[in-house]
Amino acid sequence: MKILIDIGHPAHVHYFKNIILKMRKNGHKVFVSARERYPVNELLKSYNIKYFNRGKGGHNKFSKLLYLLKADYKLLILSRKIKPDIFLSFGAVYLTHVAKLMRRPSIFIDDTDHARLNQKFYLPFATIILTPNTFLHDFGEKHIKFNGYMELCYLHPNRFSPDPSVLELLNVKRSEKYVIMRFVSWEASHDIGQSGLTSKMKRKLVSELSKYAKVFITSEGNLTDQLKKYQLKIPPEKIHDALAFATLFIGESPTMTTESAILGTPAICISSWACDCGNFKELREKYDLIYCFTHESEEIALKAAMNIIQDKDAKTKWKSKQKKLLSEKIDVTAFMVWFVENYPKSLNVMKENPNYQLNFI
């Protein structure tokens, strides 16, 4: 089988890296296309995954639409050359269009409930849509839900064991508290018109948290001179090791919030849209692993952060909650590999018996 996988965001590299390696090990030919974006290309290179560069994306509605046409054309040319049997992508709609033109099946994965504009661009074209079972929408016959989060593709215990040597890179002791903060660029299509932390609160968080722990910042945009000294300087592929041993994560990234929860690290997200997403509701209400606030409540977020950083038992409490979550969720990589390898039979299996996926716990 020949498979084309598209990657547009650093998180997508992690979603697909184990799937790519397993599918290749099983004898399939897997081709990868990727957006030109830091650290997408750096991560792919670090995992020795060769890729076709589809260029840089747009930064506003007009440039995004123009890029959509350019990317569709580039990927169509590529697809005519390699002739994939099946197309697989997360979030980026391009392969659903190309697959339709090529008259081949496309499997589109989504977990962003509120990305309604994006959904309009893939719903008419995707053959199958896979989402976590926390996804709030129902797309009918071609929609299959699985009992997990995309972050479990690479953070499930079968796939990941945190490496304590990252502490040396961070220059922190095993017993020393540290916080990781994440600021996003708000340029993704689902981020248009949305917001997170104010500049004032970013500075205040750093100032207050620094009294109790080391603070490291990772940011999609440039940091101010005042915050640059806190910039996290480790290889991008080491970020999950750093999150696993952190005392607290706080930031604007829903992905890193979910990652932290799965790793048993207390996590606080400040976002105008993420709090209402299905996976966040479950992580908050069922597992009590995260806090989520809108930007209007950032002072409350600060208070929550200070309570956690001053609680000497916080990490132990979160590890107990993490254990419950992991006992109830599937190994998403194993499920995805099975679904793609056995498509379309796997589709019929899931429709007739959705609990078949429990074989992958």
- Please tell me the least confidently modeled range out of 17-26, 52-61, 352-361: 52-61
Token duo for residue 249 = 């994560």
Give the integer Cα–Cα distance in Å for 201 and 299: 8
List pLDDT tens digits, range 121-162: 999 999 999 999 999 999 999 999 999 999 999 999 999 999
**Burial per residue of 132-141, b for 16 or more beta-carbon CB atoms within 10 angstroms, e otherwise:** bbbbeeebee
Total residues belonging to the chain: 361
Token duo for residue 174 = 């095993």
3-state percent breakdown (helix, strand, coil) of the chain, nearest 5 = 50, 15, 35
Which of 236, 238, 237, 286 is closest to 261 using CA atoms? 286
Report yes or no: 205 and 182 within 8 Å, Cβ to Cβ: no
Q: What number does CATH give the domain 2-156+330-360? A: 3.40.50.2000
The per-residue DSSP string of 302-359 comes to HHHHHHHHT-TTHHHHHHHHHHHHHHHS--HHHHHHHHHHTTTHHHHHHHH-GGGGGG
Domain 2-156+330-360 and domain 166-328 have a common topology: yes
- Residue 226, helix vs strand vs coil: helix
- Residue 181, helix vs strand vs coil: strand
Quickly tell me which residue has 């990305």 as its tokens: 115
Give the integer Cα–Cα distance in Å for 27 and 141: 30
Give the integer Cα–Cα distance in Å for 332 and 152: 6
Please tell me the predicted confidence (pLDDT) of residue 221: 87
Token duo for residue 168 = 């040396």
* Rounded average pLDDT over 30-46: 95
Report yes or no: 302 and 270 within 8 Å, Cβ to Cβ: no
Token duo for residue 159 = 């796939």
pLDDT of 331 above 80: yes
- Residue 251, helix vs strand vs coil: strand
Please tell me the predicted confidence (pLDDT) of residue 192: 52
Report yes or no: 151 and 262 within 8 Å, Cβ to Cβ: yes
Q: Which CATH architecture fits 166-328?
A: 3-Layer(aba) Sandwich (3.40)
pLDDT of 186 above 80: no
* Rounded average pLDDT over 244-267: 97
| Domain boundary assignment for the chain | 2-156+330-360, 166-328
List pLDDT tens digits, range 200-212: 999 999 999 999 9
pLDDT of 190 above 70: no
Give the integer Cα–Cα distance in Å for 225 and 265: 29
Q: What is the mean pLDDT of the chain?
A: 95
Laid out side by side, the sheet with 86-90 consists of: 52-53, 29-34, 2-7, 86-90, 106-109, 128-132, 143-146
CA distances from 305 to 150, 204, 208, 210, 213 (A): 26, 12, 9, 12, 11
